[in-house]
A and B are shown apart, each in its own frame.
Chain A
Amino acid sequence: MDIISGLLQGFAVALQPLNLFWCFVGVLLGTVVGILPGLGPPATIAMLLPLTFQMSPTSAIIMLAGIYYGAKYGGSTTSILLNVPGESASVVTCFDGYQMARKGRAGAALGIAAIASFIAGTVGVLGLMLIAPPLAKFALSFSSPEYFALMCLGLAMVVLLAGKSLVKALLAMLVGLWIAGMGIDLFSSTSRFTFGHMEMLDGVDFVVVAIGVFALGEVLGNMESREEGQMLPVPKGLRNLLPNVEELKACRFAFVNGSVIGFLIGVLPGAGSTIASFISYGVEKAVSKHPEKFGTGVPEGVAAPEGANNSETGGALVPLLTLGIPGSGTTAILLAAFVLWGLKPGPLMIQDNPTLFWGLVASMYVGNVMLLILNLPLIPLFAQILKLPVYVLYPIIFGISIVGVYSVSGSLFDVWMLAAFGLLGYLMRKLDYPAAPLILGLVLGDGMERALRQSLMMSQGDLSILVSRPISAVMLSLAVLILIAPLFRKANAWRIRMIDEQA
């Protein structure tokens, strides 16, 4: 009953003209970002974050979430037409989507991707709506030790699946914790790692690191070469974009499979939409009557991964909104956005900010409908974006990054930091250090230190408080198990296979 009244309240918020407008802007930008190879949702959200400070938090989160799930829709377009995934979650769509396009069924492949995204995206929001409130109620019993353990567990999951080298992923996370610790320590007023700069007393702004590492690092990496892909022609007219009855019939199970697997994987920190799409594709192939045809252009090979990567969005928002624990780079940036707007995602989020939570949930239903409408008839138009030369796109990204960072603090020192973090982002890519653990370490570092110190204050310095409480003991044990799992050969082989698939 609470859920129904909450949802009705949410629709009252989401259907306000201003919120509808921002939702549309978000899904439109998301689609564009998804289509453009080399510019992902975390980079875009990080770049636009400073511009949301003048908006109401509800409108801002509706727009940023729109970018997040909208990019999942758009990502399939380049996979199908160029055999180049617009974002990592669309890698699997290349297998059958591009083959369908080569057989002259590009329109049907794009149509199936849009329909699967719509169905699974809606199922994901339904899951978020049903699971988040009871989980938040359960999390109300958490105290500092449980929060510390939960953050350790979240970081362990992300580190486990972030890169081929567990050591490098852990090191990236530690660098994130170090950056998070810069500035004045709020417990003792000690200034830490400020290098004598007054500007560092407030710490390093998250926006600077996120834009530098994700946006500039990504663009610098893309500028290594001048190559551009060859696009297959996009069929014109809605009729040519709709799949036929046989194709839709073949996708029945794939729609369900993608929706369920995507959501469940999304709830797990660290797994993410790329793994969700691979697992869903694997399950679809395993239960298929003709597994040998996968990879040659079967419609269910497009529907399952596209569904999974959209449903994952709803799942990923569950731990973010109810526990305040992000599971990926993008949700870490969303968490930072909440903090910058003065909100605190966690068990009290739904209770304290029902308008924002239910408004976001309702806007995702609305956004999915907008995306379906945008993505079916307007695909030929969106595909034209691929003709935008990179030498026009990249200066725009550089410009938005500089303006975005400068608009937060009005400080040129932060622009210098941006350039430094841009180089760090590029070097991390080059040296195979994953960026997600760094960002998560940065976002969680402050809270993690606070939770640990509060726990030890509660116990007068006795570390056993972390393992003497059942929930924190279980979560810490799981975190330790996750981190030592790669020591076992089979588990490590599975981990590396997952990462290979992700890469």
Chain B
Amino acid sequence: MEDKSFKAADLWSGLALAALGVFIIMEARQWEFMGPDGPGAGFFPLGYGIAMVALSAALVIASVLRNPSRTDSAVNWRETGRVFAMWMALVVAVATLKVSGFVINFAVLTFFIVAVMYRRPPLRAAIVAAACTAGFYLVFPLALGVSLPAGMLGF
């Protein structure tokens, strides 16, 4: 089971990169390859697109032919799930920046990290979130004059 998951990772990443390589080649073919003044916009992308397809094909073939070894490590879905939960929280924070602004979103994101990701008591999470947000507000807009993404409330 372990070996299968590791082999599959190489296989799928190889296939994804092969698809990217094909996309690059298709796009590059629409641009000039060689003109009277020398190489056109498609010259270089076509080169690395072809190289990408060739190398990812090599990766896919190698992963199919490879015998599972003891050094192959398993995908720990629990750990990976934690990371994806965190990343989704970040995406939600970014998606709502236009509405609620950096200050509120950063406080909520910090609360989420402390209370949910690290299972600390809600009161401690609230204190950390408030302190970090206040620190950011003091350092960036007030001390350094760096503007933060503002929401509908203006901050």
A-to-B contact residues, CB < 8 Å: 51, 165, 167-168, 170-171, 174-175, 177-178, 181, 185, 187-188, 190, 192-193, 216, 220-221, 223-226, 389-392, 394-396, 398-399, 402-403, 406-407, 410, 412, 415-416, 418-419, 422-423, 426, 430-431, 433, 448-449, 452-454, 456-457, 460-461
Q: Is the CB of B58 within 8 A of A167?
A: yes
Q: Is the CB of A167 within 8 A of B114?
A: no
Chain A proximity mask over B1-39: 1 for CB below 8 Å, otherwise 0? 000000001100100010011001001000110110111
In whole angstroms, what is the CA distance A171 to B91 when docked?
A: 27
In whole angstroms, what is the CA distance A422 to B97 when docked?
A: 18
In whole angstroms, what is the CA distance A190 to B33 when docked?
A: 12
Write out the residue numbers on chain A whose beta carbons fall within 8 Å of the beta carbon of B120: 391
Across the A-B interface, how many residue pairs have beta carbons closer than 8 Å? 161
Q: Is the CB of B37 within 8 A of A431?
A: no
Q: Is the CB of B90 within 8 A of A419?
A: yes
What does DSSP make chain A's interface, helix, strand, loop or mixed? helix
**Nearest CB to that of A189 among chain B residues?**
B41
Q: Is the CB of A190 within 8 A of B55?
A: no
User: Which of B34, B90, B97, B140 contacts A461 (CB under 8 A)?
Assistant: B34
In whole angstroms, what is the CA distance A159 to B45 when docked?
A: 19
Q: Is the CB of B82 within 8 A of A419?
A: no
Q: Is the CB of B118 within 8 A of A395?
A: no
| Further contacts, 18 of them, CB under 8 A, given A190-B41, A390-B118 | A167-B62, A181-B44, A187-B37, A216-B90, A220-B87, A223-B83, A224-B82, A395-B128, A395-B132, A399-B132, A399-B136, A412-B94, A419-B87, A419-B91, A422-B87, A453-B43, A457-B37, A457-B39
In whole angstroms, what is the CA distance A188 to B20 when docked?
A: 24
Q: Is B65 an interface residue (CB 8 A)?
A: no
Q: Is the CB of A174 within 8 A of B52?
A: yes
B113 → chain A, closest Cβ, in Å? 5
Q: Is the CB of A403 within 8 A of B52?
A: no
A271 → chain B, closest Cβ, in Å? 23
B38 → chain A, closest Cβ, in Å? 4
Given contacts A391-B113, A391-B118, A422-B87, A167 and B39 within 8 Å (CB-CB): no
Write out the residue numbers on chain B whose beta carbons fall within 8 Å of the beta carbon of A461: 34, 38-39
Write out the residue numbers on chain B whose beta carbons fall within 8 Å of the beta carbon of A410: 147
Q: Is B67 an interface residue (CB 8 A)?
A: no
Given contacts A174-B51, A419-B91, A403 and B102 within 8 Å (CB-CB): yes
Q: Is B104 an interface residue (CB 8 A)?
A: no
In whole angstroms, what is the CA distance A49 to B3 when docked?
A: 41
**Nearest CB to that of A454 among chain B residues?**
B38
Q: For residues 118 through 140 of chain B, which have their beta carbon under 8 Å from a beta carbon of chain A? A: 118-120, 128-129, 132, 136, 140
- Which 3 pairs from chain A and chain B are nearest by CB? A457-B38, A224-B79, A190-B41
**Nearest CB to that of A193 among chain B residues?**
B27
19 contacts between A and B (CB under 8 A): A170-B55, A177-B44, A188-B32, A190-B32, A190-B41, A223-B82, A224-B80, A225-B82, A395-B106, A395-B109, A395-B113, A399-B132, A402-B106, A403-B146, A406-B148, A412-B94, A452-B44, A457-B37, A457-B38
In whole angstroms, what is the CA distance A460 to B34 when docked?
A: 10
User: Which of B35, B41, B117 contacts A192 (CB under 8 A)?
Assistant: B41
Given contacts A391-B128, A407-B147, A185 and B41 within 8 Å (CB-CB): yes
User: Which of B86, B87, B97 contacts A415 (CB under 8 A)?
Assistant: B97
In whole angstroms, what is the CA distance A155 to B108 when docked?
A: 42
In whole angstroms, what is the CA distance A422 to B40 when docked?
A: 33
User: Which of B31, B80, B86 contacts A430 (CB under 8 A)?
Assistant: B80
**Nearest CB to that of A407 among chain B residues?**
B146
User: Which of B59, B76, B146 contacts A168 (CB under 8 A)?
Assistant: B59
Q: Is B144 an interface residue (CB 8 A)?
A: yes
In whole angstroms, what is the CA distance A412 to B41 when docked?
A: 29
Chain A proximity mask over B62-86: 1 for CB below 8 Å, otherwise 0? 1000000000000110011011001
Write out the residue numbers on chain B whose beta carbons fall within 8 Å of the beta carbon of A454: 38
**Nearest CB to that of B83 among chain A residues?**
A220
Q: Is the CB of B55 within 8 A of A174?
A: yes
Which of A216, A395, A402 has the most chain B CB within a 10 Å cutoff?
A395
**Nearest CB to that of A53 among chain B residues?**
B146
Write out the residue numbers on chain B whose beta carbons fall within 8 Å of the beta carbon of A192: 27, 31, 41, 45
In whole angstroms, what is the CA distance A215 to B9 when docked?
A: 23
User: Which of A165, A416, A452 contacts B94 (CB under 8 A)?
Assistant: A416
Write out the residue numbers on chain A whose beta carbons fall within 8 Å of the beta carbon of B114: 391-392, 395
Which of A167, A168, A433 has the most chain B CB within a 10 Å cutoff?
A167
Q: Is the CB of A177 within 8 A of B87?
A: no
User: Which of B41, B51, B94, B117 contacts A188 (CB under 8 A)?
Assistant: B41
Q: Is the CB of B86 within 8 A of A223?
A: yes
Given contacts A167-B59, A192-B31, A415 and B94 within 8 Å (CB-CB): yes
In whole angstroms, what is the CA distance A494 to B106 when docked?
A: 47
Q: Is the CB of B148 within 8 A of A403?
A: yes
Write out the residue numbers on chain B whose beta carbons fall within 8 Å of the beta carbon of A168: 59
Write out the residue numbers on chain A whose beta carbons fall within 8 Å of the beta carbon of B38: 453-454, 456-457, 460-461
